Amino acid sequence: PRTVFSGIQPTGIPHLGNYLGALSNWVHLQETARSEDTFIYSVVGLHAITVSQDPTKLRRDRLDALTSLLAIGIDPKRSILFFQEDVQEHTELAWILGCLAPIGRLNRMTAYKATSPEASSDERLGLFAYPVLQAADILAYKATHVPVGEDQRQHLELTRDLATPSISNVPPKYSPFPKTPQVPPTKRILSLRDPSQKMSKSSPHVNSRILLTDTSSDIMLKIRKAITDSNFGITYDPINRPGISNLLRILHACRAPMRSHDTALEESEASTRLDDELHGATMASFKEAVADAVSARIGPIREEFARLRADEGYVRQVAREGANKAKDIASRTVREVKERIGLGQL
Ligand code: TYM
Predicted confidence (pLDDT) per residue in 29-55, tens digit:
999 889 999 999 999 999 999 999 999
Return mean pLDDT, the chain: 88
Query: What does the pLDDT read at residue 298?
Result: 96
pLDDT above 80 (res 327) = yes
Residue 328 identity: D
> Residues 125-178: pLDDT tens digits?
999 999 999 999 999 999 988 989 888 888 988 898 888 765 555 444 444 444
pLDDT above 60 (res 263) = no
Q: Cβ(199) to ligand 1 under 6 A?
A: yes
- To the question of domain 206-308 being in CATH 1.10.150.20, the answer is no
Q: Cβ(151) to ligand 1 under 6 A?
A: yes
Query: What does the pLDDT read at residue 268?
Result: 57
pLDDT above 80 (res 315) = yes
- 233 band by pLDDT with thresholds 50, 70 and 90: confident
Identify the residue whose C-alpha is closest to ligand 1 atom 20. 149
Query: What does the pLDDT read at residue 157?
Result: 87
Distance CA 343, CA 323 (A): 24
Q: Indicate which atom in ligand 1 lies nearest the CA of residue 152.
A: 20
Distances (CA, A) of 23 to 53, 112, 174, 249: 23, 22, 24, 16
How far does residue 194's CA lie from ligand 1's centre (Å)?
A: 19
Q: Ligand 1, from 8, 47, 198: best to mutate by most atoms within 8 Å of Cβ?
A: 8
How far does residue 211's CA lie from ligand 1's centre (Å)?
A: 15
Q: Indicate which atom in ligand 1 lies nearest the CA of residue 186.
A: 12
Query: What does the pLDDT read at residue 175?
Result: 41
For residues 93 and 139, the answer to whether their CB atoms sit within 8 Å is yes
**Domain spans, the chain:** 3-187+311-341, 206-308
Q: Indicate which atom in ligand 1 lies nearest the CA of residue 147.
A: 22
How far does residue 343's CA lie from ligand 1's centre (Å)?
A: 33
Q: For the whole model, what pTM was predicted?
A: 0.92
pLDDT above 80 (res 259) = no
pLDDT above 50 (res 230) = yes
Q: Cβ(18) to ligand 1 under 6 A?
A: yes
Question: Which of 181-185, 189-193, 270-274 is the most confident on average?
Answer: 189-193
Query: What does the pLDDT read at residue 68?
Result: 98
Q: Cβ(16) to ligand 1 under 6 A?
A: no
The length of the chain is: 346
CATH architecture designation of domain 3-187+311-341: 3-Layer(aba) Sandwich (3.40)
pLDDT above 60 (res 269) = no
